[in-house]
Amino acid sequence: MTPYLAMPPRPAWPTAGARRLHWATAPLRALNIFVVYLVLLGLWLLVVPAQDGTLTIPIVRVILFIAVSVPVAVVAAGVGVWHWWALRYWIEGDDLVVDAGIVRSRIRRIPLSRMQGVDVVRPLVGRALGLSEVHLELAGGSSAQITLRYLGEHEARALRAELLALAAGLPPHTPEAPERPIGRVSLGVLFASLMLRVPVLAAIAAFFGLVAFGIVFKELAVLAVAVPLLLGLLRGVIAPLVLYTEFSVAVAPDGIRLRYGLFETRSQTVPPGRIQAVRVVEPLMWRSFGWARVEVTVAGYSGDRQALSSTLVPVAPTFAAFDLVSEVFPGVSVQKVALTDSLSGRAAAGVSRDVFVTRRGLACRTWDVVALARAQSVRMTASPWQRLTGRATVHVDVPPGPVHVAAVDRGVVEARELTDDAVTRAALARTGAARTERWAR
């Protein structure tokens, strides 16, 4: 008699092809747990403040510290070894299978054809020990990410090349595709571009003004405003400077390869065909130097992943920025697309066979480009004020991201014609576009 409920058999673990993380994963995880213990409890057990304000370490506290720390260290070591032993991964056909857990197994099967990105990250500690992390991004939001931490540096690069080859329908041992370097951002240009921004210069002037006021009038209350300003400057200048140090761009058959980072180096491949829209930003103070920034919206990315992957290049010569757009959308020359001005004269828009282009802004000029084959919808909207003045806005919608393509302040008749034209061209572009889920096609 057939049972009412039958549990599916657990997939057999292929002992010949299964792989584990680097053995250093166990002591590093144990060390992380022990450091957390020291910060939250260990140092409090060891150090006692005396009545005169000095810190003392009585022998009784040393014994107590040792008595508590030894079991914590043993438990941390056990957790580290358990985590290392429990995680296994292997490639089965066109899928990457990750099995995590011993008592309670959690198996994830990732179709490589649906993979959004494979990044090799080398944190500071990992660089010192020759270790790397492999990040696999999947469609489905911020929770759809798999991190293999840690692998040997050579093993991480080999795994990345193997995954990209299989995702492209190539043999697993296909060597990594050669790349064509596009350019590198020097540290001086990066620092200058971060400083030459109106909000940064205004914050610097306000900070020194507050400090001078506090010194002259001996007023410490200005620190309540000066300190947040200083923290904002550190976040707006130092953090991007550290993040994008040694930034380089190269083009390969498997996508646009980005490498950057000072303390944590990252090798990132922006997948081809999944860049939905591109933005070229020319701030006012950058134009005299001929600089621009390139941002993108990548389908399938969300949250922190979208924010981290939205910058295709932090600063580059303007001609190089538009050349990079031509690499993303082959055969497209943005500056050759015929644009018509809006009624306000502060924006322009145009459509070609393959792309919809908008330009807006006087102080900060912004070019938004969307491939019509990847447009999700085209719509026309009008606010109450626009209805009174006979104007409308044409939107070309793409997945959520930093780039929002909209032709603002068009005449109603012109907006309808532009909408119909974009819809027709988008349908033709989708008909002629190659439909495949393979990575590099």
How many Å separate Cα 241 from the centre of its chain? 16
Dist. CA 407–CA 359, nearest whole Å: 8
Helix axes 187-195, 198-217, angle to 10 degrees: 70
Q: For 144, how many CA atoms within 13 A lie in the half-sphere containing its CB?
A: 17
Q: For 129, how many CA atoms within 13 A lie in the half-sphere containing its CB?
A: 17
CA dihedral 60, 63, 65, 67 (to 10 degrees): -140
Helical (H) or strand (E) element with 294: strand 291-298
Contacts of 287 (CB under 8 A, 6+ apart): 365
Q: What is the pLDDT of residue 166?
A: 82
Dist. CA 61–CA 63, nearest whole Å: 5
Give strand pairing partners of 89.
19, 98
Q: Give ∠ CA 311-313-318 in degrees, rounded to 5.
A: 125
* CA dist 246 → 83, 187, 297, 330, 403 (Å): 34, 7, 23, 27, 25
Q: Look up residue 312 and give its DSSP letter.
A: E
Structure tokens at 25: 């994963």
pLDDT digit string (tens) for the chain, length 441 residues: 444 444 444 444 454 578 899 999 999 999 999 999 888 888 787 776 655 556 666 788 788 888 888 999 999 999 999 989 989 999 888 888 888 876 677 888 888 877 777 889 999 888 888 999 998 877 655 556 788 989 999 999 999 888 888 877 778 788 887 889 999 999 999 999 999 998 899 999 999 999 999 988 888 888 888 899 999 888 889 999 999 999 999 998 888 899 999 888 998 888 767 788 999 999 999 999 999 999 998 876 655 566 666 889 999 999 999 999 998 888 888 988 999 999 888 899 999 988 999 999 888 999 999 999 888 899 999 999 999 999 999 999 988 888 889 999 999 999 999 999 999 999 888 886 555 445 545
Contacts of 159-162 with C-beta under 8 Å, sequence gap 24+, read 159/134, 160/118, 160/120, 160/134, 160/267, 162/91
Dist. CA 126–CA 242, nearest whole Å: 17
Dist. CA 274–CA 254, nearest whole Å: 12
Q: What is the pLDDT of residue 2?
A: 43
Direct distance between the N- and C-terminal alpha carbons of the chain, in angstroms, rounded to an integer: 50
Q: Look up residue 19 and give its DSSP letter.
A: B
Domains belonging to the chain, first-starting first, are: 25-167 (2.30.29), 177-267 (no CATH), 271-432 (2.30.29)
Q: Of 270, 267, 295, 272, whose CA–CA distance to 366 is shortest?
A: 295
Residue 338 near residue 358, CB atoms below 8 Å: no
Helical (H) or strand (E) element with 388: helix 384-389
Q: What is the pLDDT of residue 382?
A: 92
Strands lying side by side in the sheet with 391-397: 377-381, 391-397, 405-411
Helical (H) or strand (E) element with 115: strand 115-122
Burial class (CB in 10 A: 0-12, 13-18, 19+), 163: buried
Dist. CA 42–CA 7, nearest whole Å: 46
Residue 375 near residue 398, CB atoms below 8 Å: yes
Burial class (CB in 10 A: 0-12, 13-18, 19+), 173: exposed
Residue 372 near residue 425, CB atoms below 8 Å: yes
Q: What is the pLDDT of residue 6?
A: 43
Structure tokens at 396: 């070309």
Residue 369 near residue 329, CB atoms below 8 Å: yes
